Amino acid sequence: MPSFNHGAVEIAYLDEGEGDPIFLVHGFASSKNVNWVYPGWVSELRKDGRRVIALDNRGHGESAKLYDPAQYDIAAMASDVIALMDHLAIPRADIMGYSLGSRMTAVLAHNEPQRLRSAILGGIGIGLIEGGGPGENVAVALEAPSLEDVADPVGRTFRAFADQTRSDHRALAACLRGSRRLMTRQEAVDIDVPVLIAVGSNDEIAGSAEALGRIIPRSQVLAIPNRDHMRAVGDKVYKTGVIDFLAQRE
Residues 101-129 have pLDDT tens digits of 999 999 999 999 999 999 999 999 999 99
Q: Do the Cβ atoms of 70 and 77 come closer than 8 Å?
A: no
Asked if residues 25 and 96 have their Cβ atoms less than 8 Å apart, the reply is: yes
On whether the CB atoms of residues 84 and 11 are closer than 8 A, the answer is yes
pLDDT tens per residue across span 215-247? 999 999 999 999 998 899 999 999 999 999 999
Q: Which amino acid is at 152?
A: D
Cβ–Cβ contacts within 10 Å for residue 63, how many?
A: 22
Which band of pLDDT confidence, cut at 50, 70 and 90, is reported for residue 204?
Answer: confident
Q: pLDDT exceeding 70 applies to what percent of the chain?
A: 99
What are phi and psi for residue 91, nearest 5 degrees?
A: -75, -30
